[in-house]
Structure 1
Amino acid sequence: MSEAPDGMLDHLWTEVLVFPHISLLSDEQMGAYFQDFDGQWSAQTKRAMRDHGAVGLELNSNWALERQHWTCPGCARSKPEVFRKSSSDILLAKLELHHDHLWEVATRRPAMVAGADWRDILADGAPFVVENIRSLVVRFEDSLICSECNAADGKAKRALQVDPRFSYSAAEIGRFVKPAPNRDHDIDLDCAREIWDEQRPSFERRILLLEMLVDDLVAGHLQRCREGAIPASRPLMSRVGIEETLRSAFWSASRGTQNYGQLSGLRADFLARSVRKDIPQRAKRKTDTRIPTDDEYQAYIPETAPQAWAGAAEDWTCPCCARTKRSSMRMSAKKKWSGAIRNVAQYPILQDDDEIVLRERLFPDFPNEMHLKEMVWVEVCSDCADVIPRIKQIHRDLPDAHLSLDQMKAVLAGIENHMPHEINFDLAWELAKANFRYRYAGEALSAFSNLKSTFKRQMEFAAKYPEARQDVFERLTFELEVERRIDDPQERKEIMTMLKDDDYRLSRKSHPEGAEHEF
């Protein structure tokens, strides 16, 4: 790129921003880059694993996203004191977002009064009024507390048969629990009952207030007009502010490169490195395989995707494990039949050399190691559909785990009728890790598809409104010349034609004078 003449860029100022590739960081580097956060990589967590003699770890996203020196607003324990080893020798590191259950009560109330389609029946502003009603009737804001305090709320209410719509606040939980480091809470039920007795009159008035306000809303007395309302996602106070300016500058600078999707995936990458859920190893119990009777099979309707099950032919077989609908049914631990036909995403590899050449010409800054066609859904049995979720559950460092259908077949170590699959998790992890390039290939596909869609839409607009053709041509020319760095005017015209016609042959075509107007 040629240098700009002196003074041409005086109206701009720049700042270089550096972002880490989280998947490539060592645990020590994670600690340096994310000092205000936590995870399986932190020295504090590793020390707790050693001190407690744990063989595994269950650390959730709330724990990872909160600072290491946090203390529970309920029991006042620090994170090192909240660590607890389970009976399976798994170290538990879990925080929960505790909320007032009146929020759900307020959410359900409009449907109880006006029907499930209340949003369509009432005026447009009704959902905003309901949101304000919810905020008014709840007793406390959502609060992050340790899992033991969160569980104590439910235990106390069940033991005392308290109205299930009531919730103790974090401070109230702190009054009736008897905390100790690294163990579950004991509960003072007398104290919990005393708090319930104190708060019951206020709670019951809140219920009455909720019912009255929702009834008034349904009756049309509390409508709110929304004409000309400023979108909550972009209030005036935030416009041309720090966040919007930085976001816009980043999207503009990274458009058409693999970095475009990096920032939006940063949180997922962080959680993949930080969160962990080890599953206790339990000895397999020998069980007799239950086979559904004819009546059970005919009467069976899966809870998940019943339409897909009903719509599949009787001779349907799973393209992954080759089992039939009937042979994929199995008895669950709850003594209920389970099994379904579910969709898994597959990304066929693009083989069209002409389209590949065009994509790489338009988006040279992607790795372009592989090129994908548009995603397709493939129907498989529920056990095969669970392969990738089970891999991600064990290997949390794979935020974008993907396996092709052939790879899914390869990792099935054992297939039996009416039984869950045995999975070779080591092989699955290796294959999924090698498939990380699908992430960049998917982003490249998205960039190309968006560009093609934009060009088609603009050209259709120009065809409908001839007076706009010149303006449209200039906009598309700017996109190709400046953003995509296509300097040759003839090549730009050919690319426009290829995108319009979905014909990616790069042979030179003659264009008559004025072809820029022929969309």
Structure 2
Amino acid sequence: MRVTRRSAEPPEEAFSLERHRDLLRRLDERRRAMVELLEATASRESVQTALATLDGEWSDMTRATAVRLRAHDVRIHEAWTHVPQTWNCPGCRRPKSGLFRLVSGRVLQGKLDDHHDHFVSYGNHRIKEVFGEVQLAAMQFHVQLAFADAQNYVGGFTRTLICPDCNTADGQGKMAITDLLKDDRDWFSFPIEDIRDFIHPPEPNQPHRIDPRRVRDVFLRRAHDRSLRTRKAIIDGTIRFLEQEIHWKSREQTESVQEAYDGYVDLLADLGLGGNARMTLGSLSASVQDANPKRWREPPKRKFTAPEAFLIDRYMAEQAPDRLRQLPPTWRCPGCGRTAKETVRYSNKKAEKGGFRLHSNVVELGRSDRSELVCSDCALMARNLAGEAGCTPDDILPSEILQAIRKNRNRRHLPAKFHATIDLVVKGIRERVAATAEEEWTPWDDLASDDDGFDGEEFVALP
């Protein structure tokens, strides 16, 4: 399959200096409006950080690219604004400035695509085919969960944002191996590492070109044909079980062990008992400590949405702990980098009169010479890591917390997706703490040589 390369400048649209200047004037107006908005709501330092990090029609990068590609207009899609200017496409690894495309009408387009595994469509297709829309709609929730688990088990990768050129290359790659995929083309998607392997070296602001021979080589070398057959067999087998009303999900939806523990931690944080105080309380309250320091790695099944902005504002004004409200406007958690408002979330403990209450706090973490205020979610993660590493929460560095979590705005942090990632973080903590302890410990022999207090020349034995 031969893939032709399109020019970054559509030849049918001649460049107009007048339209180009009109665009630059509009972009400058957007920039001024953005600065006014930030200056009215944020500190000077935050304004500069926001202008250098956030992205949109108003950004310097958009304007510079419009000048470089001589655009007449800009079209920035919403997903583009959700990632910072420093973002790189995880597929081709081009910087964001190289992902702009000049489309028809000399319009500068900033757009990102949601790349997902199309195999989920196979499961949806088969279960509708077998049960029908009416029966499927009436299926009990716990039975649907059983099928959803099977779908999650055979998923190839999580949804991710990539540049449209990588997403297009995925489709072109599948077209190049229709003889291998046959009827399964609709159920297959290449993961980003495969796309990266079969495209030619990417060029800025240009579409990708694929190498059909490398597409075939990647597909066969990574045994996608065999894994696709196996994944289909798992889905089909699960559906056969469901047809016979054989499933394994309990009808009862109860509070999980992790949810009970998280609620307890939230309550202690509200009472100002965080960090080492929580460990002391645990030793005072329980005569037998749980022996599984890794239980925190399994995230709770209950999914909380982020509170609405007006609820967060009300909480900060009326209910937030004094310690949280007294933070400077420029404060960000040294662990996760969230602002004070971004740490406010729903608690696992239900409010007395129904619903879920809001929660947030900050905790002092670290030794006296380097202690910092971190959000209560990061403090909890520090305690979890310390439990595994055999040290105290104050021994944990904010950078180590960040490595072990998937941070969330206005929601509880989740542990890193893979246990192996956390294993490496814990191993590094143990090695660092052990090395620090060795540096701080002074052998008695060294003390004796310094002050001659034991068996030195001036030593006098007691009678």
TM-score (norm 2): 0.45
